[in-house]
Structure 1
C-alpha cells in the first residue's frame, strides 16, 4: 500500500449523487488505491481493502431514507485482538436480512477509538463487500469520521469514501472546547470546513457524553443543515424538543421539494428507547446500538407506528426500552456480552475495556431476555 500523502488533494469535481444531488468537493489524490498510513507499515490488510475498493459499484447512489440504522460492532480474535473480518461480515449480513435500512461503522459501538486508520478502512471495506456479496449493494454505510482536528477529520472522510462508505458521521471536536469562540462559531467553522472538503456527505453526531458535555443547540444544527454537503443528524442527547425543532425547520427549508420518503435532511434518534417519541416529534428513525441484538424488534416498532397501530407500537416500545436500558448500562461491553450469550458470537471488546465478570454476564443476559424472546418471535413469523 502506498503511504499517506498529507499534502492537500487537488480540487476537482465530484458528483456525490446523494439526497441533494451533485456537490462540488475536493477529490482524493491517488488515494483510491488501498493504502496504509506511514505509521502503520506492517498491517496485513492491504489485499482485503484493495479487493473491496475495486468493486465496480462501490460508489453507487445510496440515498438516506427513513428507517432503522445500526451502528455495528467491531469483532476481534479473542486471543490476539486482531480484527475478525469473518464475524464482521456475518453480522452485517444478519442485520441486513433482518430488514434494517443501513449500517454504520466506526461508531461508539464499533470501538473506533481503538482502531488504527488502516483497521478502520478494513472494517468498512469488509462490511461493504459482505453487503454487496449478499445482495444488499443498495444499502448505505455511514462511517464514523470524528477527530479532534479538522485535518484528520477530512482525512478520515476521504478514507471512508475509499473503503466504500457513503456518509460520514462526525462528532464535534471537544478537547479544546473551553477555547472555542462563543455561540458555537468554532464548531460551525469546523463542520463547514469538513463538509467543504469531504467527498461524502456529513451527518452531524450530537453525543454530549462522548465530547466532554458539548451539546449542539437546535439553532446550530439548523444553521449547519443549510450546507449542501451536510445531510443529517444523529441526536444521542435524547432531547426530543430539539429533535422536533430540527425536523420542522429542515422540512420547511426543503419547501415544496420536501419528500417524506427521501428527506433532504435526515433526523435520527440516537437510542432505541425513544423511537416512538422521536417519530411523533417528526424524526425519521433511529441509529441505535440495541439493533445489533434486536434489529427486527426495532424495525417492527417503527412499522407499527407508521401503520397507525399505536397501541401495539407502544407495547413493543416498552420491551425495546427495557432492553435498551441494559445496553446503556453495559455499553459496548454489555452489548457484546448480550450477543455472545444469546446469539453465540460477539466476544470481547479490545483492551483496555474490561471483560465482563460472570455476575455481569448473567445480569446482562437476563436484562435482554424479554427483548430476545420478542426478536425470536418476529424472526419465526417472518420465516413462516
Structure 2
C-alpha cells in the first residue's frame, strides 16, 4: 500500500487531516528536457537547471510533463532524467523538494510500469494523463477505471493531468475529477484546460472531505485566478524561465497585495501567451536567450529561426526584466 493509501488520522475538527504524501501548495516547474549535440539526454544541464530552479525557491519539479518531451524519450531516458534531477537536488541541499514524474501512456499496463519506474528513479509523485489515442472507444466509466487501476498499483501518489490539447480534446469534467478524488492514492489534479470554474468546483468539492487533495492550475497565465478560488498554485512551464516572478505573484496574493499581484499577472499572462503559442520550444528559446542554455528539441520539432525567433525572444523581455529585479 502506498503512503497515501493508508487511512488518514482525524484532526480535532473531525475532518481527515492531510496525508504525509500530500504536496505543498506552491509553484511547480515542469522542466524541459535537455540534449547533447549528439541527441543524447544531457546530464549536466539537467542537473544545473534543477538546482537553479530550487535555489529560486520553487516548491517542486516535474519531469516528463508536456514541457519535458516525454513522448520523445524512451523508458531508460525518462528514468535517467528523473534520477539526475533527484540526485542534483539532494546534493545541493534540496532533498525536501519533491520530484513529480509524468507517467501517462496509452495502456493501463504501460502507465503502471512507468509509475513503478518513477518510484525506482526517485520520484515522489506521478502525474498521469488520460489515454486518448483511442478516445472514441473510451467512455467516462472506462477513463475512471483506468485512473483507479493505475492508482491501485502505483507505488507513488497520483495526480490527474487534465490537458485537452495533448489528449485529442478529451476534457475531464469536474464531476469525473471529484469521483476520482475519492481514491486515497489520487492526491491532486493539474488543470491545463484553463477552466477556472471547473477548478473552483473541484476545490469546493474536496476541501472538507480531502484536505490533502491539491488542485493546481496548469499554466502561469491563470495563477491569480487559481489562487483567488482557493487553488493550491500552478504547475507552469513558464516558471522554467521566470520562477521568481511566479513565486512573487503568489507572495503578493498571500500578503493581500492584490493590486500588485494583478499587475504582475498581466506580465505573466503576456509572456505565457508566447509560451503557449510556441509550445515547449519557445521555452527553450527563452532559456537560451536569457540564461545561456536550452538547446534544440528532438526531431521532428525544431526551434524557430530569424524574425520569428526574435519575436519569441522579445515576447519574454518584459517578464525577464521583472525576474531580474527580484
TM-score category (smaller protein): over 0.9
Distance 1:173 1:132 in 2: 33
- Residue 137 of structure 2, aligned match among 170, 179, 200: 179
Do 1:172 and 1:206's aligned partners in 2 also have CA atoms closer than 8 Å? yes
Distance 2:159 2:101 in 1: 9
Query: What does 1:223-262 align with in structure 2 at a 5 Å threshold?
Result: 223-254=179-210
Cα deviations across residues 191-246 of structure 1 (Å, max 9, x unaligned)? 00000000001000000000000000000000000000000000000000000000
Distance 1:344 1:145 in 2: 29
Partner of 1:222 in structure 2? 178
State the secondary structure of the residue aligned to 1:109.
helix
Q: Number of matched residues?
A: 316
Cα deviations across residues 350-376 of structure 1 (Å, max 9, x unaligned)? 111023212222111100000000000
Distance 1:358 1:100 in 2: 33
- Displacement of 1:15 in angstroms is 4.7
Greater relative contact order, per chain length (Cα 8 Å cut-off, separation 6+): 2
Cα deviations across residues 1-23 of structure 1 (Å, max 9, x unaligned)? xxxxxxxxxxxxx452699769x
Do 2:203 and 2:231's aligned partners in 1 also have CA atoms closer than 8 Å? yes
* Long gaps (5+) in structure 2: 10-19
Q: Which has the larger radius of gyration?
A: 1
Partner of 1:151 in structure 2? 109
Cα deviations across residues 67-91 of structure 1 (Å, max 9, x unaligned)? 00000011001x2111111000000
Distance 2:4 2:167 in 1: 31
Query: What does 1:72-111 align with in structure 2 at a 5 Å threshold?
Result: 72-77=31-36, 79-111=37-69
TM-score in terms of structure 1 length: 0.80
Do 1:148 and 1:174's aligned partners in 2 also have CA atoms closer than 8 Å? yes
Distance 2:7 2:240 in 1: 29
Distance 1:63 1:87 in 2: 29
* Long gaps (5+) in structure 1: 1-13, 23-60, 255-262, 379-384
Do 1:62 and 1:138's aligned partners in 2 also have CA atoms closer than 8 Å? no
Cα deviations across residues 330-350 of structure 1 (Å, max 9, x unaligned)? 111111011001111001101
Change (3 A) 1:17 1:219: closer
Do 2:127 and 2:158's aligned partners in 1 also have CA atoms closer than 8 Å? yes
TM-score in terms of structure 2 length: 0.94
Query: CA RMSD, aligned part only?
Result: 1.4
Cα deviations across residues 235-262 of structure 1 (Å, max 9, x unaligned)? 00000000000001000213xxxxxxxx
- Displacement of 1:175 in angstroms is 1.2
